[in-house]
Protein backbone atom coordinates (compact mmCIF):
# COMPACT_ATOMS: atom_id res chain seq x y z
CA UNK A 1 0.00 0.00 0.00
CA UNK A 2 1.32 3.42 -0.98
CA UNK A 3 2.30 5.74 1.87
CA UNK A 4 0.49 8.99 2.38
CA UNK A 5 1.09 12.19 0.44
CA UNK A 6 1.16 15.56 2.19
CA UNK A 7 1.13 18.80 0.25
CA UNK A 8 1.42 22.36 1.49
CA UNK A 9 -0.18 25.22 -0.39
CA UNK A 10 -0.71 28.93 0.13
CA UNK A 11 -4.30 30.09 0.46
CA UNK A 12 -4.36 30.91 -3.27
CA UNK A 13 -6.80 29.24 -5.68
CA UNK A 14 -4.08 29.04 -8.32
CA UNK A 15 -2.25 26.50 -6.14
CA UNK A 16 -5.01 23.93 -6.65
CA UNK A 17 -3.82 23.05 -10.16
CA UNK A 18 -0.43 22.00 -8.82
CA UNK A 19 -1.97 20.11 -5.93
CA UNK A 20 -4.48 18.22 -8.06
CA UNK A 21 -1.72 17.20 -10.46
CA UNK A 22 0.32 15.70 -7.61
CA UNK A 23 -2.74 13.97 -6.15
CA UNK A 24 -3.67 12.43 -9.51
CA UNK A 25 -0.18 11.06 -10.04
CA UNK A 26 -0.01 9.71 -6.49
CA UNK A 27 -3.39 7.97 -6.67
CA UNK A 28 -2.60 6.49 -10.09
CA UNK A 29 0.50 4.98 -8.53
CA UNK A 30 -1.61 3.63 -5.68
CA UNK A 31 -3.92 1.87 -8.14
CA UNK A 32 -6.96 3.99 -7.38
CA UNK A 33 -9.93 3.71 -9.73
CA UNK A 34 -11.11 6.57 -11.94
CA UNK A 35 -14.12 7.07 -9.67
CA UNK A 36 -11.91 7.27 -6.58
CA UNK A 37 -9.71 9.86 -8.29
CA UNK A 38 -12.81 11.84 -9.32
CA UNK A 39 -14.20 11.90 -5.78
CA UNK A 40 -10.83 12.73 -4.23
CA UNK A 41 -10.39 15.62 -6.70
CA UNK A 42 -13.87 16.82 -5.82
CA UNK A 43 -13.25 16.70 -2.08
CA UNK A 44 -9.98 18.59 -2.39
CA UNK A 45 -11.37 21.12 -4.87
CA UNK A 46 -14.47 21.98 -2.89
CA UNK A 47 -13.15 21.83 0.67
CA UNK A 48 -9.88 23.62 -0.09
CA UNK A 49 -11.40 26.35 -2.26
CA UNK A 50 -13.85 26.99 0.56
CA UNK A 51 -10.97 27.51 3.00
CA UNK A 52 -9.17 29.82 0.56
CA UNK A 53 -12.25 31.93 -0.12
CA UNK A 54 -13.61 32.20 3.40
CA UNK A 55 -10.95 31.21 5.89
CA UNK A 56 -8.53 34.11 5.59
CA UNK A 57 -8.56 37.85 5.27
CA UNK A 58 -5.11 37.98 3.67
CA UNK A 59 -3.12 35.79 1.30
CA UNK A 60 -0.08 34.14 2.78
CA UNK A 61 -1.28 31.53 5.20
CA UNK A 62 -0.91 27.81 4.58
CA UNK A 63 -3.13 24.84 3.99
CA UNK A 64 -2.00 21.23 4.39
CA UNK A 65 -3.56 18.39 2.42
CA UNK A 66 -2.84 14.75 3.24
CA UNK A 67 -3.97 11.84 1.07
CA UNK A 68 -3.70 8.42 2.70
CA UNK A 69 -4.75 5.33 0.73
CA UNK A 70 -6.31 2.48 2.75
CA UNK A 71 -7.41 -0.94 1.45
CA UNK A 72 -11.01 0.19 0.98
CA UNK A 73 -10.81 3.98 0.94
CA UNK A 74 -8.65 7.05 0.55
CA UNK A 75 -8.54 9.34 3.58
CA UNK A 76 -8.38 13.03 2.75
CA UNK A 77 -7.32 15.45 5.49
CA UNK A 78 -7.32 19.21 4.99
CA UNK A 79 -5.81 21.38 7.71
CA UNK A 80 -5.62 25.15 7.78
CA UNK A 81 -4.89 27.91 10.27
CA UNK A 82 -7.72 30.14 9.08
CA UNK A 83 -10.87 31.19 10.91
CA UNK A 84 -12.82 28.42 12.65
CA UNK A 85 -15.22 26.85 10.18
CA UNK A 86 -16.96 23.48 10.24
CA UNK A 87 -18.16 22.56 6.73
CA UNK A 88 -20.56 20.07 8.27
CA UNK A 89 -22.47 22.94 9.82
CA UNK A 90 -23.95 23.89 6.44
CA UNK A 91 -27.36 22.42 5.93
CA UNK A 92 -28.46 20.73 2.72
CA UNK A 93 -30.23 22.78 0.08
CA UNK A 94 -33.63 21.90 -1.30
CA UNK A 95 -33.97 21.38 -5.04
CA UNK A 96 -34.64 24.65 -6.87
CA UNK A 97 -38.21 25.21 -8.02
CA UNK A 98 -37.14 27.01 -11.18
CA UNK A 99 -34.04 27.73 -13.20
CA UNK A 100 -33.98 31.28 -11.82
CA UNK A 101 -33.70 29.81 -8.33
CA UNK A 102 -30.90 27.38 -9.27
CA UNK A 103 -27.70 28.06 -7.32
CA UNK A 104 -24.60 29.33 -9.08
CA UNK A 105 -22.41 28.92 -6.00
CA UNK A 106 -22.29 27.54 -2.49
CA UNK A 107 -22.83 23.96 -3.62
CA UNK A 108 -19.39 22.58 -2.85
CA UNK A 109 -19.91 21.20 0.62
CA UNK A 110 -23.22 19.66 -0.38
CA UNK A 111 -21.48 17.91 -3.27
CA UNK A 112 -18.83 16.46 -0.97
CA UNK A 113 -21.44 15.32 1.52
CA UNK A 114 -23.64 13.79 -1.17
CA UNK A 115 -20.94 12.13 -3.27
CA UNK A 116 -18.19 11.29 -0.78
CA UNK A 117 -19.94 11.18 2.57
CA UNK A 118 -19.90 13.03 5.84
CA UNK A 119 -16.93 15.21 6.73
CA UNK A 120 -15.43 15.13 10.21
CA UNK A 121 -14.28 18.40 11.73
CA UNK A 122 -11.92 19.21 14.59
CA UNK A 123 -10.42 22.49 15.77
CA UNK A 124 -7.03 21.67 17.33
CA UNK A 125 -4.21 24.03 18.31
CA UNK A 126 -5.67 26.89 16.31
CA UNK A 127 -6.17 24.82 13.17
CA UNK A 128 -9.25 23.55 11.37
CA UNK A 129 -8.96 19.89 10.47
CA UNK A 130 -11.49 18.38 8.06
CA UNK A 131 -11.36 14.68 7.23
CA UNK A 132 -13.37 12.70 4.73
CA UNK A 133 -13.11 9.15 3.49
CA UNK A 134 -13.39 8.47 -0.24
CA UNK A 135 -14.47 4.91 -0.99
CA UNK A 136 -12.28 2.87 -3.33
CA UNK B 1 -7.51 21.70 -18.47
CA UNK B 2 -10.66 22.24 -20.50
CA UNK B 3 -11.69 23.42 -23.94
CA UNK B 4 -14.76 24.33 -25.90
CA UNK B 5 -15.56 23.54 -29.50
CA UNK B 6 -18.38 25.01 -31.56
CA UNK B 7 -19.96 22.30 -33.69
CA UNK B 8 -22.92 24.19 -35.12
CA UNK B 9 -23.65 27.93 -35.04
CA UNK B 10 -26.67 28.24 -37.32
CA UNK B 11 -29.72 30.51 -37.16
CA UNK B 12 -31.65 27.68 -35.49
CA UNK B 13 -29.16 26.28 -33.04
CA UNK B 14 -26.02 26.68 -30.98
CA UNK B 15 -24.29 23.31 -30.58
CA UNK B 16 -21.07 23.18 -28.61
CA UNK B 17 -18.99 20.55 -26.91
CA UNK B 18 -16.98 20.86 -23.72
CA UNK B 19 -13.92 18.77 -23.00
CA UNK B 20 -11.68 18.12 -20.02
CA UNK B 21 -12.04 19.05 -16.38
CA UNK B 22 -14.48 21.77 -15.31
CA UNK B 23 -12.63 22.53 -12.09
CA UNK B 24 -11.53 26.02 -11.05
CA UNK B 25 -8.85 26.24 -13.74
CA UNK B 26 -11.04 24.62 -16.37
CA UNK B 27 -13.93 26.99 -15.78
CA UNK B 28 -11.55 29.92 -15.96
CA UNK B 29 -10.50 28.73 -19.43
CA UNK B 30 -13.94 28.14 -20.97
CA UNK B 31 -16.45 30.37 -19.17
CA UNK B 32 -16.06 33.33 -21.53
CA UNK B 33 -15.86 31.25 -24.75
CA UNK B 34 -18.96 29.33 -23.65
CA UNK B 35 -20.85 32.56 -23.04
CA UNK B 36 -19.81 33.92 -26.44
CA UNK B 37 -20.72 30.69 -28.24
CA UNK B 38 -24.11 30.31 -26.55
CA UNK B 39 -25.58 33.19 -24.55
CA UNK B 40 -24.61 36.00 -26.91
CA UNK B 41 -26.07 34.08 -29.87
CA UNK B 42 -29.47 33.83 -28.13
CA UNK B 43 -30.33 30.54 -29.92
CA UNK B 44 -31.60 27.23 -28.52
CA UNK B 45 -28.46 25.50 -27.28
CA UNK B 46 -27.27 21.95 -26.79
CA UNK B 47 -24.01 21.13 -25.02
CA UNK B 48 -22.19 17.86 -25.59
CA UNK B 49 -20.75 16.90 -22.18
CA UNK B 50 -19.43 13.47 -23.21
CA UNK B 51 -15.77 14.56 -23.03
CA UNK B 52 -16.09 16.33 -19.67
CA UNK B 53 -14.10 14.23 -17.18
CA UNK B 54 -14.77 16.25 -14.03
CA UNK B 55 -17.42 18.71 -12.90
CA UNK B 56 -17.07 20.75 -9.73
CA UNK B 57 -19.39 23.30 -8.19
CA UNK B 58 -17.85 26.17 -10.14
CA UNK B 59 -18.53 24.29 -13.38
CA UNK B 60 -22.13 23.72 -12.37
CA UNK B 61 -22.47 27.42 -11.61
CA UNK B 62 -21.10 28.31 -15.05
CA UNK B 63 -23.64 26.05 -16.77
CA UNK B 64 -26.52 27.40 -14.69
CA UNK B 65 -25.60 31.01 -15.48
CA UNK B 66 -25.62 30.26 -19.21
CA UNK B 67 -28.97 28.49 -18.93
CA UNK B 68 -30.53 31.33 -16.97
CA UNK B 69 -29.24 33.98 -19.37
CA UNK B 70 -30.54 32.08 -22.37
CA UNK B 71 -33.89 31.49 -20.72
CA UNK B 72 -34.31 35.25 -20.45
CA UNK B 73 -34.05 35.46 -24.24
CA UNK B 74 -36.58 32.66 -24.65
CA UNK B 75 -34.04 30.00 -25.57
CA UNK B 76 -33.40 26.66 -23.89
CA UNK B 77 -30.04 25.22 -22.82
CA UNK B 78 -29.79 21.43 -22.73
CA UNK B 79 -26.86 19.24 -21.70
CA UNK B 80 -26.35 15.74 -23.09
CA UNK B 81 -24.01 12.79 -22.99
CA UNK B 82 -22.73 13.23 -19.41
CA UNK B 83 -20.31 10.60 -18.13
CA UNK B 84 -21.73 8.71 -15.10
CA UNK B 85 -19.79 10.60 -12.40
CA UNK B 86 -20.55 13.96 -14.03
CA UNK B 87 -24.24 13.03 -14.20
CA UNK B 88 -24.12 11.96 -10.56
CA UNK B 89 -22.54 15.29 -9.63
CA UNK B 90 -25.34 17.21 -11.36
CA UNK B 91 -27.97 15.07 -9.62
CA UNK B 92 -26.33 15.57 -6.22
CA UNK B 93 -26.38 19.34 -6.75
CA UNK B 94 -30.15 19.06 -7.48
CA UNK B 95 -29.67 21.41 -10.43
CA UNK B 96 -30.96 18.60 -12.65
CA UNK B 97 -34.42 19.41 -11.31
CA UNK B 98 -34.47 22.53 -13.47
CA UNK B 99 -31.61 22.18 -15.97
CA UNK B 100 -32.52 19.78 -18.79
CA UNK B 101 -30.10 16.87 -19.21
CA UNK B 102 -30.48 14.28 -21.95
CA UNK B 103 -28.66 11.05 -22.68
CA UNK B 104 -28.17 11.62 -26.41
CA UNK B 105 -27.98 14.41 -28.92
CA UNK B 106 -31.33 13.46 -30.44
CA UNK B 107 -32.98 13.48 -27.02
CA UNK B 108 -31.39 16.88 -26.33
CA UNK B 109 -32.76 18.28 -29.58
CA UNK B 110 -36.20 16.94 -28.66
CA UNK B 111 -36.01 18.63 -25.24
CA UNK B 112 -35.05 21.93 -26.85
CA UNK B 113 -38.44 22.25 -28.46
CA UNK B 114 -40.59 20.42 -25.92
CA UNK B 115 -43.29 22.41 -24.09
DSSP per-residue letters across chain A: ----EEEEEES-TTHHHHHHHHHHHHHHHTT--HHHHHHHHHHHHHHHHHHHHHS-SSTT-EEEEEEEE-SSEEEEEEEE-SS---GGGSPPPPPPSSGGGS-SSS-HHHHHHHHT---EEEEETTEEEEEEEEE-
User: 3-class DSSP state for residue B12?
Assistant: coil
Which of A122-126, B40-44, B101-105 is predicted with the least confidence, judged by mean pLDDT?
A: A122-126
Q: How confident is the model over B31-44, as a mean pLDDT?
A: 98
Give the gap in angstroms from C-alpha B9 to the nearest C-alpha of chain A: 24
Which of residues B52 and A17 earns the better pLDDT score?
Answer: B52
- Looking at the 3D structure of chain B, how many domains does it have? 1
pLDDT tops 80 at residue A56: no
pLDDT tops 80 at residue A60: no
Q: How much is the pLDDT for A57?
A: 62
Q: How much is the pLDDT for A12?
A: 84
ipTM of the assembly? Answer: 0.94
pLDDT tops 60 at residue A103: yes
Which of A42-56, A103-117, B52-66 is predicted with the least confidence, judged by mean pLDDT?
A: A42-56
Q: How much is the pLDDT for B22?
A: 97
How do residues B69-112 score in pLDDT, each as one tens digit?
999 999 999 999 999 999 999 999 999 999 999 999 999 999 99
Query: In this structure, what CATH number is given to the domain that contains residue B85?
Result: 3.30.750.24
Domains of chain A, CATH where assigned:
5-135 (3.30.565.10)
Q: How confident is the model over B56-72, as a mean pLDDT?
A: 97
pLDDT tops 70 at residue B12: yes
Q: How much is the pLDDT for B26?
A: 96
Report yes or no: A50 at the B interface, CB cutoff 8 Å.
no
Give the gap in angstroms from C-alpha B6 to the nearest C-alpha of chain A: 24
Q: How confident is the model over A15-34, as a mean pLDDT?
A: 94
pLDDT tops 80 at residue A73: yes
Tell me whether residues B64 and A99 touch, CB distance under 8 A.
Answer: yes
Closest Cβ–Cβ partner in B21, B85, B93 for A107: B93
Give the gap in angstroms from C-alpha B85 to the nearest C-alpha of chain A: 7
Q: How confident is the model over A77-103, as a mean pLDDT?
A: 88
Tell me whether residues B94 and A93 touch, CB distance under 8 A.
Answer: yes
How do residues A8-17 score in pLDDT, each as one tens digit?
998 888 889 9
User: 3-class DSSP state for residue B28?
Assistant: helix
Q: Tell me which chain A residue has its CA closest to the CA of residue B76.
A: A99
Tell me whether residues B24 and A49 touch, CB distance under 8 A.
Answer: yes
Tell me whether residues B54 and A41 touch, CB distance under 8 A.
Answer: yes
Tell me whether residues B94 and A41 touch, CB distance under 8 A.
Answer: no
Tell me whether residues B99 and A98 touch, CB distance under 8 A.
Answer: no
Report yes or no: A3 at the B interface, CB cutoff 8 Å.
no
Range of the domain at B72: 2-112
How do residues B14-33 score in pLDDT, each as one tens digit?
999 999 999 999 999 999 99
With beta carbons under 8 A apart, name residues in chain B contacting A108: 56-57
Q: How much is the pLDDT for B115?
A: 61
pLDDT tops 70 at residue A2: no
Q: How much is the pLDDT for A52?
A: 85
Q: How much is the pLDDT for A14?
A: 86
Amino acid sequence: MAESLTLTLHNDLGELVRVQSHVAAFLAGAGASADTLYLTRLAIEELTSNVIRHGYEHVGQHIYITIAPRPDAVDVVIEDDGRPFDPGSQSDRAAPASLDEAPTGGMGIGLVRGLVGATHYDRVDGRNRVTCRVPR
Amino acid sequence: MSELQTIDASDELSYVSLKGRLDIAGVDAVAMPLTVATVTRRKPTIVDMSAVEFLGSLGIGMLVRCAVSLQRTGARFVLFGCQPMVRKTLETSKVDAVLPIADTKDAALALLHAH
